[in-house]
Amino acid sequence: MYLFQCDYNKMCHPAVLAKLNESENLSMVGYGKDDACAVAAEMIRNLCDAKDAYVHFLSGGTQTNLTVIAASLRPYQAVVAAESGHISEHETGAIEATGHKVITLPPEEGKISAKQVKDIVELHYTPTGPGPEHTPQPKLVYISMSTEMGTVYSLAELEEISAVCKAYGLFLYVDGARLGYALASKGNDVTLKDLARLCDAFYIGGTKQGAMFGEAVVITNPLIASDFRYMIKQRGGMLAKGWLMGLQFVALLEDDLYFKISARANEMADRIRETIKAAGFALTAVNPTNQVFAIMPDVVLDELSKSFMFTEWCRIDAQNRLVRFCTSWATCESDVDMLCAAIRHFGKGD
Amino acid sequence: MYLFQCDYNKMCHPAVLAKLNESENLSMVGYGKDDACAVAAEMIRNLCDAKDAYVHFLSGGTQTNLTVIAASLRPYQAVVAAESGHISEHETGAIEATGHKVITLPPEEGKISAKQVKDIVELHYTPTGPGPEHTPQPKLVYISMSTEMGTVYSLAELEEISAVCKAYGLFLYVDGARLGYALASKGNDVTLKDLARLCDAFYIGGTKQGAMFGEAVVITNPLIASDFRYMIKQRGGMLAKGWLMGLQFVALLEDDLYFKISARANEMADRIRETIKAAGFALTAVNPTNQVFAIMPDVVLDELSKSFMFTEWCRIDAQNRLVRFCTSWATCESDVDMLCAAIRHFGKGD
Amino acid sequence: MYLFQCDYNKMCHPAVLAKLNESENLSMVGYGKDDACAVAAEMIRNLCDAKDAYVHFLSGGTQTNLTVIAASLRPYQAVVAAESGHISEHETGAIEATGHKVITLPPEEGKISAKQVKDIVELHYTPTGPGPEHTPQPKLVYISMSTEMGTVYSLAELEEISAVCKAYGLFLYVDGARLGYALASKGNDVTLKDLARLCDAFYIGGTKQGAMFGEAVVITNPLIASDFRYMIKQRGGMLAKGWLMGLQFVALLEDDLYFKISARANEMADRIRETIKAAGFALTAVNPTNQVFAIMPDVVLDELSKSFMFTEWCRIDAQNRLVRFCTSWATCESDVDMLCAAIRHFGKGD
Amino acid sequence: MYLFQCDYNKMCHPAVLAKLNESENLSMVGYGKDDACAVAAEMIRNLCDAKDAYVHFLSGGTQTNLTVIAASLRPYQAVVAAESGHISEHETGAIEATGHKVITLPPEEGKISAKQVKDIVELHYTPTGPGPEHTPQPKLVYISMSTEMGTVYSLAELEEISAVCKAYGLFLYVDGARLGYALASKGNDVTLKDLARLCDAFYIGGTKQGAMFGEAVVITNPLIASDFRYMIKQRGGMLAKGWLMGLQFVALLEDDLYFKISARANEMADRIRETIKAAGFALTAVNPTNQVFAIMPDVVLDELSKSFMFTEWCRIDAQNRLVRFCTSWATCESDVDMLCAAIRHFGKGD
């Protein structure tokens, strides 16, 4: 079986495992106050050109999202996010469980716009009803980079969203579960420095980017950063052996490994995209990152599924389904060859 | 100034105030364990033909909604409601503040359908993603009677929604802030007995129906009812002098006053609706209850607003706005005469 | 039956009911944005000599406590309170339901001291364990005036507690469910002005002080006050007919009625206290307010209970129980005569 | 420096790392639905003689405690725990952040008794105040095995606590962060089978017992178990690469490794305890597990701290402090030799 169903089906990049192995006998201070976390945090601050940024390591994406958001909001404040956002759709109401509403906006290919944010905030402050205090107050904009559809915000888009947030006193937070794939993608013009400059907080994903587990949160706004370790501990995200995450991020960030493996995964995805297109099938949410979304006939997908794992997204019509092929650092070039050959074989022009 | 802006701008129906005055010197047991609440509860059980129903009195609608919903759900469970539902739009995220997501459905004239409920529940249990536990579990359906648009569910519609809820193990809860207007409306075929039979919980609104304050919750499902007094106390809804609400409901339910004043308010609204239609203006969400929704030109509304209070709903286009005229037990017939005359005066056919 | 079981067993002071009756036909703006609330708020600001204070009216004590505290704290912050505090003992975990721990201190006759507060805060910041972030951060001190035992903080005690709070960045909040009894008590040297000067927030109780319902929250710290109406709405404390509370407070504050009826209730309680002492029974938590705590033999209490209602507090030993006799604006002098005569009759020296 | 400060300062037992290394190239299903978790769960069910038990793997202790407790309780229900319990003292109010009060009992050497539980529950149901609904309802008893003081509940004690819980309808939950040390300790008569039989839920700690991270929750009560994966996901405890925990528990449970390394750590601690006693210093909370609590003079501790790391617990008096020496699978026998020699050297009899 060839595996294209997700980017978290293998343990970790060999360099990560090697780093853990070579650190086996170290004795470390607990709860993230160790040297490995300090080194990784400093590497990240340098990459972000943000020497005052606060960097913390949490165990997973949902954990990170709920902790940052709970730390940012007063009880009556709400998050603004795309309907397709991970917090909106796939975290079992984790944000609502911290007490906050997620106000959703209809996205275009996974992305929301500065204008949408502006409109929803203005609607809140000029309601037709009895007053703004009868609706939750929008206070934090959540976007993902790359998005659930694999798309990437341009620098101009980010600048605009950030400007609206600043104008209206909102926080901007970027979910970076797949940040490497976004930043290493062709045509991308956003850097870590831009994120540190434009956002109040964001995270550099580890789990889907070559680590065993772990996400690195970068907080540039002291209002969110203050007492953040209390929040991590209270929400259950503070690992006793926090240095495990520090070590993994050191391994991933050394020699730009994080970006190199992301770029390679994107290239593998590009090959799949081109093959699908050439074979006459439709792509949706065409994007430059590691997720390929294709609409293909049931008969083709049923054949493909005998040898290849991919993810069902939704049914399009009686004969066609939308599916996702996903690459990662672990994707073998030969597997991609096999997949592309199969797609060509079943292609409409074949 | 003639008042049509809402149904809660006067203190209370004279019979309610009289009942309070005559009870001034009574000494009562605190926290709703008094005789007046017991009598009112028994009157309600009789009206509902539900001798085992649990009846409690809470101070307001948001309080009631959040207390019932928090009592009904485990942490990962969600409410299903219309996008225009009061809990979705006008309670400052009160439900989310109890930890629960409100999954919204696009309503038709304020109402959602059994099919919409069925579809959203089936979608939850047959997801295309990694499994249902990655999304909140729909567990309680919230509808309003009458709805935010003044419309009324038919008995057939309620039966269907209730059947879907039972089939999938969901609770059905009806927000009855304006229940009297709904039940007393022309063409309505739903009774309190039906609500008690088809719902797990609902409330009989007092605040917008002639009381100073207070809503009577009727719970027929013991899973929600058990320990409900703990919930009321914890959420701040247990008035020390709970008998004040018992007395008010006794006054409202004696001699069918509740339904009589609702019917009269509906008639006043009917007159306004007919006048608007005859004057050539458009009605939206045409309904048989005490809220009249009309689309009228700015020039007309600006003139009307010099003598009449009404509620701005939203802008329709460059020249027209949607507004609401609201009647209640307190609406004077002569005020309606004045309003109708003015509308006729500004009417298109004038 | 003569009633001494609580201070909320009668509807309201006649002046309050009169005020409501004379306002029956007024038409008012909803949700507390009316003139009556504005007038009452201004009266309170004047009494407090705090022209910038924010004043809001909520429906009950638990509602008020949970709303103020939820508005004041970030998720990992905790309240410091006496073990016997109302929020610690008698609100069904309402504060915990907002997500916050109540750290309790052993009180002396219902009161906690500045030193206790200082010690618990210093313990937090110099822990022996892995770091302060492993325990909730004390952030708000909750005290009651009068306390659950009827005792009253002196101005010196309040000044000290306030100084500690300021030194360590904590909020000071005073639960004033029985504030009138405290401020009108013999020997009291605290004024509303002092409370406004020393606290970040406090409330002037209505329910137990002659109103039907309603508490007036005074917030002097803008950090707590900002967006407070969102908090009231979200937690269900915003009555549609908020003016009912404004009217009641106007009635209570006119001509110092609030303090006059409190002083009279205290005098009634003083007579009971003196009689109990003279009769040879023990008083505990001797206090100058409307609650009398006495230890009396079962045989006496069983006889008294045939004609008088009082509250059981706890068993002291095999023969004696602690009970509470409570007075209020509604207590008749002749009832006190009867009670005192009965106590003398059963007195040890009889 | 010789390390006795905690049991989580080394990465993991070599067998655990070996198991991860040999699994490097496996491709696994995400979110804990993999074969390794299935195998580990089956091993645990067998060890517990509980073929129907539900077993889940979570990332850490606080995460586990808050998830199990939130899954078990309705909003007004509370936990009963020792004042020294981990949830009471060292989890930043994580339980309160889920909305629930922790009712604390004064422990004896870290343990609470069946009688204490019985008394607090009976007090709740026969209050002297206005009714039980004014206080949170005790519903879950939380104990630790071993306790924070290293002590161990006997089988008889557990049977009694369990019987009280069953009689009053309470859940019994055991925090097993150091369960191996407890079960492998001299004189212990409790088995995993007993825990499965007597508790509604408990967890087998990994983090402090040789794993990198991860705790195995065993739930025998279907009321808690139902939909538990929703709870894990919502609270952020569901690792994408859940199999990492399955693999680690397989490694720890093979050939009884978990119990063997626990027994050895206990023996090391026994040697330290005997040495301290022989040297004339006082032990407190004498226990048979891996934590040694000793009261020693400042002058001795200051000398010891030059070569040995240990944990400060609290000051006893002007000259003495209570400290903790902790052993684990990673403790070297030669380090223990050095520590014992040093203690003997500074001993009172020296």
Mutate to test the interface with C, among B4, B34, B58, B62 (most CBs of C within 10 A): B62
With CA atoms as reference, the chain B residue closest to D70 would be B75
Tens digit of pLDDT for each residue in B72-96?
A: 999 999 999 999 999 999 999 999 9
With CA atoms as reference, the chain B residue closest to C96 would be B234
Q: Alpha-carbon dihedral of residues A224, A227, A229, A230, nearest 10 degrees? A: -110
Query: What is the per-residue pLDDT for C348?
Result: 74
Q: Which residues of D touch B (CB under 8 A)?
A: 30-31, 33, 70-71, 74-76, 98-99, 130-134, 136-137, 227, 229-234
**What is the pLDDT averaged over residues D272-285?**
95
Q: Are residues B131 and D70, on separate chains, in Cβ contact within 8 Å? A: no
Q: Is the pTM of this model over 0.95?
A: yes
Cis peptide before A59 (omega within 30 of 0): no
Token pair for B44? 């309600």
Q: Are residues C11 and B24, on separate chains, in Cβ contact within 8 Å? A: yes
pLDDT category at D349 given cuts 50, 70, 90 is low
With CA atoms as reference, the chain B residue closest to D29 would be B130
Cα dist from B118 to A90, B277, C58, D198, whole Å: 20, 37, 40, 41
Using CB atoms, pick whichever of C31, C99, C134 lies closest to residue A233. Answer: C134
What is the nearest CA distance from C118 to chain B, expressed in angstroms? 30
| Alpha-carbon span A171 to A69, nearest angstrom | 10
Helix, strand, coil content of chain D in percent (nearest 5): 45, 20, 35
With CA atoms as reference, the chain B residue closest to D77 would be B230
Whether the pLDDT of residue D350 is over 50: the answer is: no
Q: Measured between beta carbons, which residues in chain C are less than 8 angstroms from residue D89?
A: 135
Cα Rg of chain B (Å, integer) = 21
E-only strand ranges, chain B? 2-3, 54-58, 77-82, 102-105, 137-144, 171-175, 201-205, 215-219, 282-283, 291-297, 308-309, 311-315, 320-326
Cα Rg of chain D (Å, integer) = 21
**What is the pLDDT averaged over residues A295-312?**
95
Q: Measured between beta carbons, which residues in chain C are less than 8 angstroms from residue A98?
A: 75
Tens digit of pLDDT for each residue in D220-236?
A: 999 999 999 999 999 99
Are the CB atoms for D269 and D337 separated by under 8 Å? no
E-only strand ranges, D145-184? 171-175
What is the nearest CA distance from B175 to chain D, expressed in angstroms? 21
Q: With pLDDT > 90 as the criterion, what percentage of chain B qualifies?
A: 95
Q: Are residues B71 and D71, on separate chains, in Cβ contact within 8 Å? A: no
Q: Are residues C239 and B67, on separate chains, in Cβ contact within 8 Å? A: no
What is the nearest CA distance from D342 to chain C, expressed in angstroms? 23
Closest CA to B88 of B71, B112, B72: B112
How many interchain CB pairs under 8 A, A with C? 57
Query: What is the per-residue pLDDT for A350?
Result: 47
Q: Are residues B133 and D74, on separate chains, in Cβ contact within 8 Å? A: no
Query: What is the per-residue pLDDT for A229?
Result: 98
**DSSP 8-class letter at A319:** S
Whether the pLDDT of residue D126 is over 90: the answer is: no
Q: Are residues D30 and A17, on separate chains, in Cβ contact within 8 Å? A: no
Closest CA to A129 of B142, B181, B5, B179: B5
Chain D partners (3+ C-beta pairs within 8 A): A, B, C
| Alpha-carbon span D59 to A212, nearest angstrom | 13
Tens digit of pLDDT for each residue in A208-237?
A: 999 999 999 999 999 999 999 999 999 999
What is the nearest CA distance from D174 to chain C, expressed in angstroms? 20
Burial of A48-70, coded b for 16+ CB within 10 Å and e otherwise, reads bebeebbbbbbbbbbbbbbbbbb
Q: With pLDDT > 90 as the criterion, what percentage of chain C qualifies?
A: 95
Mutate to test the interface with D, among C79, C128, C323 (most CBs of D within 10 A): C128
Q: Are residues B90 and A129, on separate chains, in Cβ contact within 8 Å? A: yes
Mutate to test the interface with C, among D101, D293, D313, D322 (most CBs of C within 10 A): D101
Q: Are residues D17 and A17, on separate chains, in Cβ contact within 8 Å? A: no
| Geometric angle at alpha carbon D158, from D113 and D237, rounded to 5° | 100
Tens digit of pLDDT for each residue in B133-164?
A: 999 999 999 999 999 999 999 999 999 999 99
Query: What is the per-residue pLDDT for B349?
Result: 58
Closest CA to B28 of A127, C10, C21, A51: C10
Tens digit of pLDDT for each residue in B31-64?
A: 999 999 999 999 999 999 999 999 999 999 999 9
What is the nearest CA distance from B34 to chain D, expressed in angstroms? 13
Backbone angles phi, psi at C203, to 5 degrees: -130, 150
Q: What is the mean pLDDT of chain C?
A: 96
Backbone angles phi, psi at C279, to 5 degrees: -80, 0
| Alpha-carbon span B251 to B8, nearest angstrom | 17
Q: Measured between beta carbons, which residues in chain D are less than 8 angstroms from residue A94?
A: 233-236
Q: Measured between beta carbons, which residues in chain D are less than 8 angstroms from residue C97?
A: 75-76, 99-100
Tens digit of pLDDT for each residue in C134-189?
A: 999 999 999 999 999 999 999 999 999 999 999 999 999 999 999 999 999 999 99
Whether the pLDDT of residue C350 is over 70: the answer is: no
Using CB atoms, pick whichever of B62, B233, B241 lies closest to residue C213. Answer: B241
**What is the pLDDT averaged over residues D8-35?**
96
Tens digit of pLDDT for each residue in D169-185?
A: 999 999 999 999 999 99
Q: Measured between beta carbons, which residues in chain A are less than 8 angstroms from residue C75?
A: 70-71, 98, 231, 234
Chain C partners (3+ C-beta pairs within 8 A): A, B, D
Q: With pLDDT > 90 as the criterion, what percentage of chain A qualifies?
A: 95
